[in-house]
Structure formats: structure tokens, C-alpha cells
Amino acid sequence: MVIALLVSFFAAQQSAVAVPQQQSRGLHGYIGYSASRPEEVSAYGMGMGFYSAAWSLIDQPLRDFQIGLASGWISPDNRDNKDYPLAPEGTLARTWSERGPTYSSVFQTVEGGLGYWRGNRFRYGPPKFSMNATPQCYDYEVGSPGWSFFYDTDALPDNRLGIAQLSNRLLIPPDALPFAGKPQGKFFGYTYMALPFTSPVPSIDGKAPTGDHAWTCFISTANFKGPIAYYIPETWSKIADVFDEPFLHTRGLDSRLGLMGGGAMEINTVPQLVAQDSEGVVYSKIPKLNFPVDDSGRAILVQDVTYYSKQALYDEFIAWRNGGVIPSGRFDMRGAFAAELSTGTPKFSQDDLPLVGVANTFDTKVFANNTWGLVWQESDFAPRGQFPQYYKHQDGQRIAVAINDVPLSTGLVEAEFANAEPGEAFVSPVSGAWSRPHSAEKVYTVVLGDGSQVSYVWFRFVDQPSFQQYSFSEQKKRELQALVEGIHRSWPLDRAYMAPPTFGELVTLDAGLIVEPPSGYEVGYVPIVVRQEVAIID
């Protein structure tokens, strides 16, 4: 009888524990900073860059999870336009009336950076780095030499390819660049620099002119430094022809200087587990979010935010193109402006309702040496360096609570979030822009630390897929090919093109990304990824 009563008691207790339900909209907000601009803004719109901390924000790869680490947004300087819509009728951004009347902030951007994205097919715990751009009012995005920003595993249509692979030593997989090990606050440097790989193209028969700004991505890590790829200038100018909109002539990033007013961690898509306690009170839980905190309670996230003028590299580059000597590629700091940073307390929401109590855990701060990050206080809600996980739903708010204050009847403490599973393969076509003239026929493969296998083919630079949509003259192709061959011969991957970070160590890229050109393809050829899929390891 006693045993039967005990069994009945424990069964009743177990049945009283709720089964938490995983939902979306668990956390939203921005953790950001502002960066000052020089008085002569027009002099420093040819490049923007900084060093951003890379670390494992989450312990396990999670499904339906997207948070960008500290990154920036560059848009063309159209401040002279006060009222004319830059987003034509029919574009996605034109439906965002709150961005009117000019829609300048959503017309064109260069963004991307470090982070976790919901569309990643190969998650491995740490963050990745991805280029990204929005050439046509967010109608589509360009995240790698062949693909969008994780929206589709099919390659972009031929006429929407926009990135020219420049490095002959680094792979750029469509699922972004992974790191070696688990970086814990080491720094990743990147700068977008507008360089004149080609001459401006004037308007002919009413078609849009094209400027010479090829926004080139330079990165700085422990095992790779230098330019990896650039956005072909026509990527930006073509919108005027697509929509037959002459007002957009010379309004894009191919012609305009860039603007970047600061940066942020963009907290976009975070799941939550939701359950009621035995009295009907609702609680929620978000994933454990870790930050790289030092002994003083600081998490330094960004340093060395810098704007560049033509003197930094453009002038030397065009002089070389016109018959001078090849530059070293190092940024001339006489053409650099070090931005002063400022910040404010961030706000967060869950299900569009405010989170209360987070500000008692951490706040943003500008530290010595003009660095930016977070400072953490001792808190009952979470250990130092960890975002509060648990919230009580009360009076239209989400109130942070300590783990010990979460009723066991909710089942939340033991409940776990769904892990991400590897996704379908990214596969390029074999025809159209992806046919292989002047390329090595052999397909090479490498396995990366994110559990994927990457297949790539060596293309002659001007024959890579992104250029096939354009009718460049043979002379233009010869001159462009010669420039790139000069870079391959003279710009090594261990040169400090960006000035080194003021302090701290550089993060290390996954070694599988760094490749050696095969015999005969050492100069003038680039490794174009044609497939990324789950690695089969014996």
C-alpha cells in the first residue's frame, strides 16, 4: 500500500510539470554605438573599417537563431536628396513607408559581418564572417561570389551575381567563413575600401553611367590578411536601368561616397521556451548567451573604427593603373580618420513587449583607447557575462528573474532548445555564367570545421561567373586581368594592410579555407566555390 501511494504521488508530481513550447520572437534589440565623422565628411567616404570581437555566443548550434555580432552598415551618401524616393515603385523597400520619403537608408547597403544567421546550413557553435550587400532596395542580397545571404541554396541568377572573387588563396563558401577552434574575444578586422579596378563608364543612349568604386573587402586575421573580393561597380548602377529611373544615375555606391554612422549587434531571431507554472503564471526562457568578459567585467567588442580618404589607397592604386609602380596595399594612415565613439543603454523586447531588468545586468560603455563594448554588474539574474535567460510575464512586461525563482512546475530549467541540423547543399549551375572557359577542369574539395565539404574550381579572374553578364571589351578585360595578376604576385597574405589592432590578439580562420593554387594557376586565377554540402567522414 505504501509503495502504491508513493508511486501515485510521484506520478502526480511529474504530470504537474508543464511541457515548455518552443516559440519565436524570444529576443529583439540592438546593442550599438555611434561613430563621429570628420567635419569634411566628403574627404573620408572611400573606406570604413574596424576590429570586431569574435566569440562563441552560444554553446551549441541552435535552430531558428540569428544574432549579428558587432558589425556596420555602409550606404551611399545621398544627403543632397531631401525628398525624392530612391526606392522605385515595385521594390521591396518602397513598401516600408517609415523609411520615406527618400528611402536612403534602404536604397543600397554594404553590410554583413560576424554573426549567426537563421539561414546557415552548416552551424558549428562559433560565429562566421560573411560579406553582404543590398544593391536593389532589399529585393535581393549578395553574400558571396555565387549566392545570396543564406536565403536560397540555389546560386543567384546570372544577372544578380555581384561579387568578384579577388584572392587566389582564400575560399569564400556560400555559408560564410568559419573560424578555427572556439574564439573567445579575439579580434577580426575588416575594411571595405573603394578602389578603381576599372574606369568610369559614361552614359550611352540613356543607359545608367557607372562609377569606378569597387568596394573591396580587406580582412585581418592571424593566418590571412588582405583583400578577398570586391563588389563589381555595375552591381550598384544597374538599378537605374532595371526600373528606367534616370534620377538614380550616379546615386549608387559605384559613384557615391560611403556613409557609416556606427555599428551594432543586431538581435533578430531568437527562440524562446514558454510554459505556465502550477498557478497559471507564464514564464519564458531564452538560450544562454555568453559574452567574453575580462576580470574587470568588461566585454570589449569593437576597436579602431576608422574612415578613409582617397589618400589611404585609392590614389596609389589609380597611379599604378596609369603606369606607375604597384602599391604595397597597406593603408596610408595619413588618409585615415579615427572616429570617436559614443553609446547609450540598449532596450530589448520579447513578443514586442519590453524586457525589464536587463539594464541591471550590463550596459554599453566606451572604454579607454576609444574602444566600445559592455560592462557587467553583479546580478541575481545571471552570472557575469551572461544575458538574463528567464522572464516572468507580468503586467504587459517580461521581467527578468533568477533561475532559482523559476517554478519547477514550468519545466523550463531542464528544457532545452532544438539544435540545428545540417541543411541542404549549395549547388551552382554548370551552364550560363558558370560554364568554365579558361579554367582548370579539376574540381577540388576540402572539409571545413563546420562539418561541410566545399568543392571549388579555378577560374581565370575575368572569366569567373560574376563577370559573364557584362560585355566588357577585350581591352578592358586585359587591363583588369593584368591588375589582378599584379596583386597576386605582390600582395602576400601575411602583410598588415589594415593597421594592427590597438590591443588584443587576432582570430584565426579555419585553415581549410586557405588554399594553394595548382601548378600553372598560381597567378591570375581564383578559386570559385561551386558546391558546399555535408561532409561524409569515414
Residue 447 grid coordinates: 572539409
What's residue 439's pLDDT? Answer: 72
**Three-state SS at 274:** strand
Q: Is residue 466 part of a domain?
A: yes
Q: 121 and 79: one domain?
A: yes
What is the reported pLDDT for 6?
40
CB 509 within 8 A of CB 422: no
- Tens digit of pLDDT per residue, the chain (538 long)? 445 434 443 444 445 788 999 999 999 999 999 999 887 767 899 999 999 999 999 999 999 999 999 999 999 999 999 999 999 999 999 999 999 999 999 999 999 999 999 999 999 999 999 999 999 999 999 999 999 999 889 999 999 999 999 999 999 999 999 999 999 999 999 999 999 999 999 999 999 999 999 999 999 999 999 999 999 999 999 999 999 999 999 999 999 999 998 999 999 899 999 999 999 999 999 999 999 999 999 999 999 999 999 999 999 999 999 999 999 999 999 999 999 999 999 999 999 999 999 999 999 999 988 999 999 998 888 899 999 999 999 999 999 999 999 999 999 999 999 999 999 999 999 899 998 766 767 999 999 999 999 999 999 999 999 999 999 999 999 999 999 999 999 999 999 999 999 999 999 999 999 999 999 999 999 999 999 999 987 6
Asked if 284 contacts 294 with a C-beta cutoff of 8 angstroms, the reply is no
**Cα gap 374→429, rounded to integer Å:** 45
293 and 254 fall within a common domain: no
Task: Let me know whether 292 and 318 are in one domain.
Answer: no
Largest CA distance in the chain: 99
Strand locations in 210-281, DSSP E? 214-220, 225-231, 258-259, 262-269, 272-276
End-to-end Cα spacing for the chain: 56
Please give the pLDDT value at position 2: 44
User: 487-505 as b/e, with b when 16 or more CB fall inside 10 Å?
Assistant: bbeebebeeebbbebeeee
The residue whose grid cell reads 558558370 is 434
In a domain, 104, yes or no: yes
Specify whether 459 is located in the same domain as 405: no
Looking at residue 321, its pLDDT comes to 96
What pLDDT score was predicted for residue 15?
52
pLDDT at 43: 86
The reply to whether 446 and 470 lie within a common domain is yes
Q: What is the predicted pLDDT for the residue at 436?
A: 75
Query: What per-residue confidence (pLDDT) applies to 13?
Result: 47
Residue 153: which of 182, 173, 127, 170 has the closest Cα? 173
Identify whether residues 67 and 14 lie together within a single domain.
no
| Same-domain status, 216 and 344 | no
Angle at 332 between CA 328 and CA 337, to 5 degrees: 150
> Shortest CA distance to 494 belongs to which of 312, 228, 226, 313?
226
Residue 416 within any structural domain of the chain = no
Predicted local distance difference test score (pLDDT) of residue 421: 93
Residue 419 within any structural domain of the chain: no
Tell me what pLDDT residue 37 has.
85
85's CB contacts (< 8 A; 6+ apart) are 94, 100, 101, 102, 103
* One domain for residues 218 and 176: yes
Q: Are residues 258 and 404 in the same domain?
A: no
Tell whether 63 and 201 lie within a shared domain. Answer: yes
Q: Count of H helices and E strands in the chain?
A: 5, 31
User: Are residues 14 and 68 part of one domain?
Assistant: no
Helix (H, G, I), strand (E, B) or coil at 347: coil
Number of structural domains the chain divides into = 2
288 domain-assigned: yes
Q: Is residue 199 part of a domain?
A: yes
Q: Which domain holds residue 360?
A: 2-23+273-302+339-410
Question: Is the residue at 420 inside a domain?
Answer: no
Instruction: Tell me what pLDDT residue 438 has.
Output: 61
Asked if residue 154 and residue 198 are part of one domain, the reply reads yes
- Which three three-digit cell numbers place residue 222? 592571424
Q: Which residues contact 494 (CB under 8 A, 6 or more apart)?
A: 225
φ/ψ bin of 164: left (φ > 0), alpha (ψ from -120 to 50), beta (otherwise):
beta
For residue 415, being part of any structural domain is answered with no
Domain stop point among 347, 377, 410: 410
CA separation, residue 286 to residues 45, 82, 188, 344 (Å): 40, 42, 27, 24
